[in-house]
Protein backbone atom coordinates (compact mmCIF):
# COMPACT_ATOMS: atom_id res chain seq x y z
CA UNK A 1 0.00 0.00 0.00
CA UNK A 2 1.16 3.52 -0.62
CA UNK A 3 1.48 6.18 -3.29
CA UNK A 4 4.51 7.26 -5.27
CA UNK A 5 5.10 10.55 -3.45
CA UNK A 6 6.46 10.89 0.08
CA UNK A 7 4.51 14.09 0.82
CA UNK A 8 1.29 15.70 -0.39
CA UNK A 9 2.18 19.27 -1.28
CA UNK A 10 0.23 19.66 -4.52
CA UNK A 11 -2.18 17.53 -6.54
CA UNK A 12 0.18 18.09 -9.47
CA UNK A 13 2.78 15.90 -7.72
CA UNK A 14 0.41 12.93 -7.78
CA UNK A 15 0.09 10.52 -10.69
CA UNK A 16 -3.36 9.62 -11.95
CA UNK A 17 -2.80 6.22 -10.33
CA UNK A 18 -2.07 7.93 -7.01
CA UNK A 19 -5.26 10.00 -7.27
CA UNK A 20 -7.31 6.90 -7.98
CA UNK A 21 -5.76 5.07 -5.02
CA UNK A 22 -6.78 7.93 -2.74
CA UNK A 23 -10.33 7.97 -4.11
CA UNK A 24 -10.70 4.19 -3.87
CA UNK A 25 -9.40 4.02 -0.31
CA UNK A 26 -11.57 6.97 0.74
CA UNK A 27 -14.61 5.11 -0.58
CA UNK A 28 -13.69 2.01 1.41
CA UNK A 29 -12.95 3.92 4.61
CA UNK A 30 -16.20 5.86 4.33
CA UNK A 31 -18.16 2.63 3.96
CA UNK A 32 -16.38 1.15 6.98
CA UNK A 33 -17.04 4.24 9.08
CA UNK A 34 -20.71 4.29 8.12
CA UNK A 35 -21.11 0.62 8.99
CA UNK A 36 -19.33 1.00 12.30
CA UNK A 37 -16.47 -1.25 11.23
CA UNK A 38 -13.24 -0.51 13.04
CA UNK A 39 -10.32 0.43 10.79
CA UNK A 40 -7.31 1.22 13.00
CA UNK A 41 -4.85 1.38 10.11
CA UNK A 42 -2.67 3.96 11.87
CA UNK A 43 -2.72 2.46 15.36
CA UNK A 44 0.11 3.92 17.41
CA UNK A 45 0.86 6.66 14.88
CA UNK A 46 0.88 10.37 15.72
CA UNK A 47 0.12 13.33 13.46
CA UNK A 48 1.47 16.77 14.36
CA UNK A 49 -0.89 19.48 13.05
CA UNK A 50 0.66 22.95 12.63
CA UNK A 51 -1.90 25.73 12.24
CA UNK A 52 -0.90 29.25 11.25
CA UNK A 53 -4.37 29.89 9.80
CA UNK A 54 -7.81 29.53 11.38
CA UNK A 55 -9.77 26.38 10.64
CA UNK A 56 -13.02 24.54 11.28
CA UNK A 57 -13.20 21.69 8.79
CA UNK A 58 -9.46 21.05 8.51
CA UNK A 59 -8.75 20.74 12.21
CA UNK A 60 -11.82 18.68 13.07
CA UNK A 61 -11.57 16.34 10.07
CA UNK A 62 -7.87 15.57 10.55
CA UNK A 63 -8.17 15.17 14.31
CA UNK A 64 -11.26 12.96 14.16
CA UNK A 65 -9.78 11.07 11.22
CA UNK A 66 -6.62 10.16 13.11
CA UNK A 67 -8.70 9.02 16.09
CA UNK A 68 -10.88 6.82 13.83
CA UNK A 69 -7.70 5.35 12.34
CA UNK A 70 -6.47 4.44 15.81
CA UNK A 71 -3.85 7.16 16.00
CA UNK A 72 -3.38 10.45 17.82
CA UNK A 73 -3.40 14.03 16.49
CA UNK A 74 -1.61 16.91 18.20
CA UNK A 75 -2.94 20.44 17.61
CA UNK A 76 0.06 22.76 17.33
CA UNK A 77 -0.81 26.45 17.15
CA UNK A 78 2.07 28.23 15.45
CA UNK A 79 1.92 30.96 18.11
CA UNK A 80 2.69 28.32 20.74
CA UNK A 81 5.62 26.84 18.81
CA UNK A 82 9.13 28.19 18.53
CA UNK A 83 8.47 28.52 14.79
CA UNK A 84 6.25 31.44 15.76
CA UNK A 85 9.22 33.06 17.52
CA UNK A 86 11.69 32.77 14.69
CA UNK A 87 12.91 29.17 14.76
CA UNK A 88 13.75 28.15 11.18
CA UNK A 89 11.24 25.88 9.46
CA UNK A 90 14.02 23.39 8.72
CA UNK A 91 14.78 23.06 12.42
CA UNK A 92 11.14 22.62 13.38
CA UNK A 93 10.76 19.99 10.64
CA UNK A 94 13.68 17.93 11.89
CA UNK A 95 12.68 18.19 15.55
CA UNK A 96 9.04 17.21 14.96
CA UNK A 97 10.20 14.29 12.81
CA UNK A 98 11.79 12.78 15.92
CA UNK A 99 8.45 12.85 17.76
CA UNK A 100 5.64 12.28 15.24
CA UNK A 101 4.90 10.02 12.26
CA UNK A 102 3.45 12.72 10.05
CA UNK A 103 3.14 16.51 9.85
CA UNK A 104 0.12 18.43 8.61
CA UNK A 105 0.62 22.15 8.07
CA UNK A 106 -1.86 24.92 7.26
CA UNK A 107 -0.10 28.20 6.56
CA UNK A 108 0.21 31.10 4.12
CA UNK A 109 3.53 30.45 2.42
CA UNK A 110 3.71 27.54 0.00
CA UNK A 111 7.50 27.80 0.08
CA UNK A 112 7.36 27.18 3.83
CA UNK A 113 5.54 23.89 3.24
CA UNK A 114 8.06 22.89 0.60
CA UNK A 115 10.88 23.59 3.04
CA UNK A 116 9.09 21.64 5.78
CA UNK A 117 8.86 18.62 3.47
CA UNK A 118 12.50 18.98 2.39
CA UNK A 119 13.83 18.71 5.92
CA UNK A 120 11.20 16.51 7.59
CA UNK A 121 11.94 12.80 7.75
CA UNK A 122 8.23 11.97 7.98
CA UNK A 123 5.46 12.66 5.46
CA UNK A 124 4.19 16.25 5.23
CA UNK A 125 0.60 17.09 4.21
CA UNK A 126 -0.29 20.52 2.87
CA UNK A 127 -3.60 21.42 4.49
CA UNK A 128 -3.73 24.82 2.74
CA UNK A 129 -1.37 27.50 1.53
CA UNK A 130 -1.97 30.70 -0.39
CA UNK A 131 -1.09 28.76 -3.55
CA UNK A 132 -2.66 25.29 -3.11
CA UNK A 133 -5.40 23.38 -1.28
CA UNK A 134 -4.82 19.77 -2.39
CA UNK A 135 -6.84 17.94 0.30
CA UNK A 136 -9.91 19.98 -0.58
CA UNK A 137 -9.59 19.44 -4.33
CA UNK A 138 -9.22 15.67 -3.90
CA UNK A 139 -12.30 15.77 -1.68
CA UNK A 140 -14.16 17.67 -4.36
CA UNK A 141 -13.57 15.15 -7.12
CA UNK A 142 -14.38 12.34 -4.68
CA UNK A 143 -17.73 14.04 -4.00
CA UNK A 144 -18.38 14.42 -7.73
CA UNK A 145 -17.64 10.72 -8.26
CA UNK A 146 -20.05 9.80 -5.47
CA UNK A 147 -22.88 11.76 -7.04
CA UNK A 148 -22.13 11.26 -10.73
CA UNK A 149 -20.55 7.81 -10.78
CA UNK A 150 -17.63 8.97 -12.91
CA UNK A 151 -15.23 11.86 -13.49
CA UNK A 152 -13.80 11.56 -16.99
CA UNK A 153 -15.74 13.62 -19.50
CA UNK A 154 -17.73 15.61 -16.94
CA UNK A 155 -17.60 19.40 -16.94
CA UNK A 156 -16.95 21.46 -13.84
CA UNK A 157 -17.60 25.20 -13.95
CA UNK A 158 -15.81 27.32 -11.38
CA UNK A 159 -17.07 30.88 -10.88
CA UNK A 160 -15.06 33.34 -8.82
CA UNK A 161 -11.53 34.09 -7.68
CA UNK A 162 -8.58 32.34 -9.32
CA UNK A 163 -7.21 31.39 -5.92
CA UNK A 164 -5.52 28.42 -4.23
CA UNK A 165 -8.73 26.42 -4.54
CA UNK A 166 -8.84 26.87 -8.31
CA UNK A 167 -5.17 25.97 -8.67
CA UNK A 168 -5.71 22.61 -6.98
CA UNK A 169 -8.98 21.99 -8.83
CA UNK A 170 -7.29 22.57 -12.18
CA UNK A 171 -4.66 19.98 -11.30
CA UNK A 172 -7.23 17.51 -9.96
CA UNK A 173 -9.50 17.76 -13.00
CA UNK A 174 -6.55 17.36 -15.35
CA UNK A 175 -5.35 14.22 -13.54
CA UNK A 176 -8.72 12.45 -13.94
CA UNK A 177 -9.71 13.69 -17.40
CA UNK A 178 -12.45 16.00 -16.15
CA UNK A 179 -13.13 19.26 -18.01
CA UNK A 180 -13.00 22.54 -16.11
CA UNK A 181 -14.18 25.98 -17.22
CA UNK A 182 -13.23 28.95 -15.07
CA UNK A 183 -14.88 32.35 -15.03
CA UNK A 184 -13.03 35.00 -13.04
CA UNK A 185 -13.00 38.80 -13.22
CA UNK A 186 -10.19 40.29 -15.28
CA UNK A 187 -7.09 40.48 -13.16
CA UNK A 188 -8.24 37.66 -10.88
CA UNK A 189 -7.58 34.70 -13.16
CA UNK A 190 -5.59 31.68 -11.90
CA UNK A 191 -1.80 31.67 -12.04
CA UNK A 192 -0.64 31.17 -15.63
CA UNK A 193 2.22 28.83 -14.69
CA UNK A 194 -0.14 26.52 -12.81
CA UNK A 195 -2.55 26.49 -15.74
CA UNK A 196 0.35 25.61 -18.06
CA UNK A 197 1.35 22.69 -15.80
CA UNK A 198 -2.19 21.36 -15.82
CA UNK A 199 -2.55 21.74 -19.59
CA UNK A 200 0.40 19.40 -20.10
CA UNK A 201 -1.36 16.73 -18.03
CA UNK A 202 -4.71 17.46 -19.68
CA UNK A 203 -3.20 16.80 -23.10
CA UNK A 204 -2.58 13.22 -21.95
CA UNK A 205 -5.81 12.58 -20.03
CA UNK A 206 -8.16 14.30 -22.47
CA UNK A 207 -9.25 17.03 -20.08
CA UNK A 208 -10.02 20.53 -21.34
CA UNK A 209 -9.18 23.64 -19.33
CA UNK A 210 -10.70 26.96 -20.32
CA UNK A 211 -10.19 30.33 -18.63
CA UNK A 212 -12.64 33.17 -19.25
CA UNK A 213 -14.53 36.04 -17.67
CA UNK A 214 -18.19 35.19 -18.33
CA UNK A 215 -19.93 33.06 -15.67
CA UNK A 216 -22.78 32.07 -17.99
CA UNK A 217 -20.37 30.85 -20.66
CA UNK A 218 -18.41 28.80 -18.12
CA UNK A 219 -21.58 27.31 -16.62
CA UNK A 220 -23.17 26.28 -19.91
CA UNK A 221 -24.04 22.57 -19.79
CA UNK A 222 -21.89 22.05 -16.71
CA UNK A 223 -22.30 18.91 -14.61
CA UNK A 224 -20.78 20.58 -11.55
CA UNK A 225 -20.92 24.21 -10.42
CA UNK A 226 -18.31 25.39 -7.93
CA UNK A 227 -17.55 28.66 -6.16
CA UNK A 228 -15.56 30.07 -3.25
CA UNK A 229 -15.53 33.30 -1.27
CA UNK A 230 -14.57 36.45 -3.14
CA UNK A 231 -11.85 37.35 -0.62
CA UNK A 232 -9.83 34.33 0.50
CA UNK A 233 -8.35 34.07 3.98
CA UNK A 234 -5.65 36.70 4.34
CA UNK A 235 -7.25 39.00 1.77
CA UNK A 236 -10.00 40.37 3.98
CA UNK A 237 -8.60 43.90 3.62
CA UNK A 238 -9.52 43.70 -0.09
CA UNK A 239 -13.15 42.84 0.72
CA UNK A 240 -14.67 46.15 -0.43
CA UNK A 241 -12.62 46.28 -3.63
CA UNK A 242 -13.47 42.68 -4.43
CA UNK A 243 -17.19 43.20 -3.85
CA UNK A 244 -17.13 45.58 -6.79
CA UNK A 245 -14.88 43.43 -8.98
CA UNK A 246 -16.83 40.24 -8.32
CA UNK A 247 -20.36 41.62 -8.66
CA UNK A 248 -22.13 39.13 -10.95
CA UNK A 249 -19.76 36.26 -10.15
CA UNK A 250 -22.35 34.35 -8.21
CA UNK A 251 -23.99 30.94 -8.44
CA UNK A 252 -27.68 31.80 -8.61
CA UNK A 253 -30.76 30.64 -10.50
CA UNK A 254 -29.60 32.32 -13.70
CA UNK A 255 -26.37 30.34 -13.64
CA UNK A 256 -28.17 27.15 -12.62
CA UNK A 257 -30.49 27.49 -15.61
CA UNK A 258 -27.64 27.28 -18.16
CA UNK A 259 -26.02 24.28 -16.48
CA UNK A 260 -27.35 20.76 -16.90
CA UNK A 261 -30.65 20.10 -15.17
CA UNK A 262 -29.00 17.58 -12.83
CA UNK A 263 -25.90 19.70 -12.09
CA UNK A 264 -24.60 19.55 -8.54
CA UNK A 265 -23.28 22.54 -6.59
CA UNK A 266 -20.06 22.59 -4.58
CA UNK A 267 -18.55 25.15 -2.21
CA UNK A 268 -15.47 24.50 -0.05
CA UNK A 269 -16.91 26.65 2.78
CA UNK A 270 -17.22 28.87 4.68
CA UNK A 271 -19.81 30.47 2.38
CA UNK A 272 -20.85 34.11 2.30
CA UNK A 273 -24.46 33.64 1.29
CA UNK A 274 -25.72 36.45 -0.87
CA UNK A 275 -22.26 37.09 -2.30
CA UNK A 276 -20.66 34.20 -4.23
CA UNK A 277 -23.74 31.99 -3.84
CA UNK A 278 -27.38 32.62 -3.03
CA UNK A 279 -29.04 31.13 0.00
CA UNK A 280 -31.61 29.57 -2.32
CA UNK A 281 -28.96 27.63 -4.24
CA UNK A 282 -27.09 26.63 -1.07
CA UNK A 283 -30.28 25.11 0.31
CA UNK A 284 -31.44 23.53 -2.94
CA UNK A 285 -31.60 19.79 -3.63
CA UNK A 286 -28.76 20.23 -6.12
CA UNK A 287 -26.41 21.48 -3.41
CA UNK A 288 -24.10 18.75 -2.09
CA UNK A 289 -22.01 21.19 -0.08
CA UNK A 290 -22.40 19.36 3.21
CA UNK A 291 -21.67 15.95 1.65
CA UNK A 292 -18.55 17.64 0.33
CA UNK A 293 -17.65 18.97 3.80
CA UNK A 294 -18.10 15.51 5.33
CA UNK A 295 -15.91 13.95 2.69
CA UNK A 296 -12.89 15.91 3.91
CA UNK A 297 -12.85 13.36 6.75
CA UNK A 298 -12.83 10.30 4.51
CA UNK A 299 -10.42 11.59 1.84
CA UNK A 300 -7.92 12.91 4.35
CA UNK A 301 -8.00 9.59 6.18
CA UNK A 302 -7.08 7.90 2.91
CA UNK A 303 -4.26 10.39 2.35
CA UNK A 304 -2.88 9.82 5.84
CA UNK A 305 -3.01 6.03 5.50
CA UNK A 306 -1.34 6.02 2.10
CA UNK A 307 1.42 8.37 3.23
CA UNK A 308 1.96 7.25 6.82
CA UNK A 309 1.23 3.53 7.03
CA UNK A 310 4.25 2.28 5.12
CA UNK A 311 5.91 5.42 3.80
CA UNK A 312 7.21 6.89 7.05
CA UNK A 313 10.76 7.93 6.18
CA UNK A 314 13.55 6.36 8.18
CA UNK A 315 15.52 8.60 10.48
Task: Write down the catalytic residue from 12, 110, 133, 267.
Answer: 133
**What are the C-alpha distances in Å from 191 to residues 141, 168, 180?**
21, 11, 15
State yes or no: is 296 an active-site residue. yes
* Cα separation, 164 vs 10, whole angstroms: 10
How far apart CA 138 and CA 133 sit, in angstroms, is 9
Q: What does the buried/exposed string (b/e) look like for 278-305 if buried means 16 or more CB atoms within 10 Å of the residue's CB?
A: beebbeeeebbbeebbbbbbbbbbbbbb
Asked whether 256 and 216 are in contact (CB, 8 A), the reply is no
Q: Is 236 exposed, middle or buried (0-12, 13-18, 19+ CB in 10 A)?
A: exposed
Judge whether 173 counts as a catalytic residue.
no
Which residue among the candidates 7, 12, 18, 106 is catalytic per the annotation? 106
159 DSSP β-pair partners: 183, 227
Report the alpha-carbon distance of residue 19 to residue 15 in Å, rounded: 6
Among residues 52, 68, 136, 250, which one is catalytic? 136
Which candidate in 57, 110, 167, 296 is catalytic?
A: 296
Q: Is 94 a catalytic residue?
A: no
Residues ≥6 apart with Cβ < 8 Å to 204: none
Catalytic residue among 7, 179, 223, 228: 228
* 111 catalytic residue (yes or no): no
Catalytic site includes residue 136? yes
Q: Is 135 a catalytic residue?
A: no
Q: Which of 268, 298, 300, 311 is catalytic?
A: 268
Indicate which residues carry an active-site annotation.
106, 133, 136, 228, 268, 296
Amino acid sequence: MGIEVKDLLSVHDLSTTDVNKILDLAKMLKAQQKSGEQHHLLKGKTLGMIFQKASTRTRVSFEVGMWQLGGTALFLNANDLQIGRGEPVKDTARVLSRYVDGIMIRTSSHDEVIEMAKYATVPVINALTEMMHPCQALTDIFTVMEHKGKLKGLKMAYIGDGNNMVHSLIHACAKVGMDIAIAAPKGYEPDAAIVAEALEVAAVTGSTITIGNDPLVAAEQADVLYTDVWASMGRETEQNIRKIAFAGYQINNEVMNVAKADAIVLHCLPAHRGEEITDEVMESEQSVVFDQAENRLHVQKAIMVLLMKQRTKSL
